[in-house]
Structure formats: structure tokens, C-alpha cells
Amino acid sequence: MSHAGVYIHIPFCRSRCSYCDFATGRYESDLAERYVRAVVAEIARWREVENPFAVDTVYFGGGTPSLLMPAQIERILKALRERFNVLEGSEITLEINPGDGGISATSKQQAMRELRRLGINRASFGAQTFDNRELKQLGRTHDSTDIRTTFGRLREAGFENVNFDLIAGLPGQTMAGWRRNLAEALKLRPEHLSLYLLDVHEGTPLADQINRGQTPKPDEDLAAEMYRIMIDEVCAAGYQHYEISNFCLLGFESRHNTKYWSGAPYYGFGCSAHSYDGGRRRWSNERDAANYVAMIEAAKSAVVKRTNLSDDDERSESIFLGLRLMCGVDLEDYRLRFGSDLRDLYNEDLNRLRDAGLIEIDDRLMRLTRRGALLSNEVMSTFV
């Protein structure tokens, strides 16, 4: 039986990063308290699935969830455990901004210990880069020293599962600078690394800066070379490349994020949170935090969009989500689930992708090559 994940969206940040297009806003203590009450109420009243799966992962994302007080996190966890069967040994992740550790705690170290005591056993934080100039350009509120200090505090608080986010292909970033970033991260040796190529979204401050000529446009060829170097150096350091942008030491895959790629159910709470019942139903919440709070306080549902997947949708999702995992799509599982051979359905496309060096196919699996991982959008579009 499949187990579900729970995602909790905390939309508050100290400041907005120049590249961010997530549902986030400035932290205000009064709104944060109302928001926590709303999330607790949404969880308590939740009836979207008649017989929900037991839960074995919880993920606090954002935004910057660590801006909440530990006591507020505790109330949300208590509500989850009262509403769902949260299994012993569940992976419970909290995103932390370097330099933050609980906005109203007597000390950052005490806050981290308190979070660990509450059952948070995985920390993920957006280092993004160890270059202070690049951090300033991105609008981050921390510097490289904060990254190292925060990591040390996490270790002292008993966190044995830590993820770093790093971004390659930043405007003006050099190959030498990217190699230094990788070296700094590998020196600290977190259990997990999420390494992304910069994606510039229209409507963000960074996109506006590029469009006005204030910031150089990212060099796509250089970013591609950074991706290749990243795989070589991180894997040589003993990490497994298990998803297009994710690497881990043995046994430290993100159990929660893997649910998204493998078709497992997940239940989302808070503004902009998305959910999937593991079958055909998807739904998502109101994006704006203030509107979300008002809807919950008025005893209304925060769900604003519902989608029922068709047979074709299910088939497509199983392929393009499954291909994100470097182990690939199991062809026999696909045949048993959908009653047809993927190789027959997409024969011409698969031959084209294979001839281009983007995928590998054998008797059991279809998976991306290293080149295919770099050009994954082109591969995925074949199956949408």
C-alpha cells in the first residue's frame, strides 16, 4: 500500500529574492499567527479523501518556514497527527533560511534544538551560492558565513539529514565560481544536494533587470557545462545522482519529493498548496495568503481548482514524471498498469530521442542519458 506525503506551505520571507515566483510575502507576526490558525483549521476540517492513506513524510516549504516560532510549528504538527495516521519514523522536513532559526526564539541554537525535539528530522536550506556578490545580486539576506554557521548549528542540534540548494548559471557566474561553490558544499558534506540551473521567470525582479539590460542574460552554454561538471564532481565525491537535479549520500533520497515523481498521493495545506489523491484527482488552494486566511476564517474551502485526470493524462504523467528519476520508467510496470507497451505507442518518438542521445532503452527500463537530463524539457514535451 502506498503512503502519502503532506505538504505545508508557509508563505513568509524576510525579503523577496529576485528570481522567486513562488507564493510568498513579507513576514508579519500578526498575519503569521492568523495563518497558522487557518492551516490548523484547514487540517482539522479536511475531508477531501474519504479514507486517506497513512502519512510517512511531512514537508514544511515556502517561503521560509523557520520564521515561525517552534510553538507554531508544533501546533501544525499536532493537528496533522490528530487528523492523519502519521507513521513512526516519518521524514519531516523544514526549509530553513541560512541565518534564521526561529524569529522569536531566545537563540537560534535553542530554536533548532526545539524543532528537532518536535520531530523535525530533516532540514533543507537555500544556500544558493557561497559567493557574497551573487547572494546580494539575488536579494538574499544571508552571506556565505551564515551558510556555514547555520549548518554547524543544525549539526549541534542533532540534525543528521541536511539538504543544500545551490543554483548554477547565475548572471555573471563563472565556471571557476561554480567550481568553488561545489567545493564549499562538498567540504561540508550534507546528506543531500539539490543543484539547479537558474530558471528566469517573467514577472520576477531578475527578469525585469535582464530585460532592462541591468543584469547580463545567463549564458546557456556555460550553464550546460556547469551541469556536466556538477554531475562529475558530486558523483566523484560519493553522491548518487538519483533525480535530474538531486544528489544524495546512500539512503538519503528525499522521500517526500520522490512521491511527486513516482505518482504517490500527497495532501497540501496552506495557500497555493497542491494535492493529489494518488489516482485521478488533483486540486489546489487559493494562492494569496490573505485571501486564503479569509476563506478559512469564513469556514469556506480554500480549494480553488480541481482537475480529474483522463486516461491519457495518467499515461503522460507516469512517463514525464518518472523520467525525472535517473532510474527511469519501468516498462513492464507501465504495461501492467495501462495494458499497452510504451515502446509501441511512441516508437517513432523514442527512436528519435535515442538517436539524439537523450534516452536509453533496454528490455526493462527507459531512462534519460546525462545529455537527456540536461535537455529534459525537450524529452518531456514528447509525452505531454
Tell me: do 109 and 208 sit in the same domain.
yes
Q: Is residue 312 exposed (0-12), middle (13-18) or buried (19+ Cβ within 10 Å)? A: exposed
User: pLDDT tens digits for 227-281?
Assistant: 999 999 999 999 999 999 999 999 999 999 999 999 999 999 999 999 999 999 9
- Residue 276 located in a structural domain: no
pLDDT grade, residue 170 (50/70/90)?
A: confident
> Which residue bears the cell 542533532?
158
Q: Which three cell numbers stand for residue 360?
A: 536509453
User: pLDDT tens digits for 318-346?
Assistant: 999 999 999 999 999 999 999 999 999 99
Tell me: do 29 and 133 sit in the same domain.
yes
pLDDT grade, residue 134 (50/70/90)?
A: confident
Tell me: do 203 and 56 sit in the same domain.
yes
The number of domains in the chain is: 2
Report which of 134, 370, 324 is spatially closest to residue 229, judged by C-alpha positions: 370
Q: How far is Cα 208 from Cα 211, in angstroms, rounded to an integer?
A: 5
Whether the Cβ atoms of residue 231 and residue 240 lie closer than 8 Å to each other: no
Q: Above 70 in pLDDT, residue 210? A: no
**Given 223, 238, 262, which residue is the final one in a domain?**
262
Tell me: do 225 and 315 sit in the same domain.
no
Q: How far is Cα 42 from Cα 337, in angstroms, rounded to an integer?
A: 34
Q: How far is Cα 230 from Cα 3, in angstroms, rounded to an integer?
A: 32
Tell me: do 196 and 336 sit in the same domain.
no
Q: How far is Cα 225 from Cα 216, in angstroms, rounded to an integer?
A: 18
Average pLDDT for 207-211: 62
Whether the Cβ atoms of residue 341 and residue 331 lie closer than 8 Å to each other: yes
Task: For residue 96, give the CATH number of its domain.
Answer: 3.20.20.70
**Given 227, 244, 262, which residue is the final one in a domain?**
262
Whether the Cβ atoms of residue 266 and residue 55 lie closer than 8 Å to each other: no
Q: Coil, helix or strand for 78?
A: helix
- Residue 179 located in a structural domain: yes
User: pLDDT tens digits for 25-49?
Assistant: 566 788 899 999 999 999 999 999 9
pLDDT grade, residue 197 (50/70/90)?
A: confident
- Encoded amino acid at 242, one letter: Y
Tell me: do 154 and 218 sit in the same domain.
yes
pLDDT recorded at residue 213: 65
Q: Which residues of 193-224 are buried (b: 16+ CB within 10 A; e: fewer)?
A: bbbbbbebeeebebbebbeeeebeebbeeebb
**Parent domain of 158:** 4-262
Radius of gyration of the chain (CA): 21
- Residue 317 located in a structural domain: yes
- Residue 301 located in a structural domain: no
pLDDT recorded at residue 106: 46
Q: Which residues of 330-339 are buried (b: 16+ CB within 10 A; e: fewer)?
A: bbeebeeeee
pLDDT grade, residue 175 (50/70/90)?
A: very high
User: Within the chain, where are the H helices?
Assistant: 29-45, 70-83, 108-117, 132-138, 144-156, 175-188, 205-211, 220-236, 255-262, 289-297, 311-322, 331-338, 342-345, 347-355, 370-374, 376-380
In the chain, what percentage of residues exceed pLDDT 70? 90
- Residue 291 located in a structural domain: no
In the chain, what percentage of residues exceed pLDDT 90? 74
**Given 262, 284, 303, which residue is the final one in a domain?**
262
Average pLDDT for 90-95: 97
Tell me: do 254 and 333 sit in the same domain.
no
Tell me: do 151 and 250 sit in the same domain.
yes
Q: What residues contact 263, with CB distance under 8 A and at least 6 apart?
A: 278, 317, 318, 321, 322
Tell me: do 27 and 104 sit in the same domain.
yes
Tell me: do 253 and 342 sit in the same domain.
no
Tell me: do 12 and 124 sit in the same domain.
yes
> In Å, how far are 47, 89, 113, 354 from 268, measured between CA atoms?
12, 20, 26, 37
Task: For residue 346, give the CATH number of its domain.
Answer: 1.10.10.920
Whether the Cβ atoms of residue 205 and residue 18 lie closer than 8 Å to each other: yes
Tell me: do 255 and 327 sit in the same domain.
no
pTM of the model: 0.92
Report which of 169, 168, 162 is spatially closest to residue 147, judged by C-alpha positions: 162
Q: How far is Cα 294 from Cα 215, in angstroms, rounded to an integer?
A: 39
- Residue 8 located in a structural domain: yes
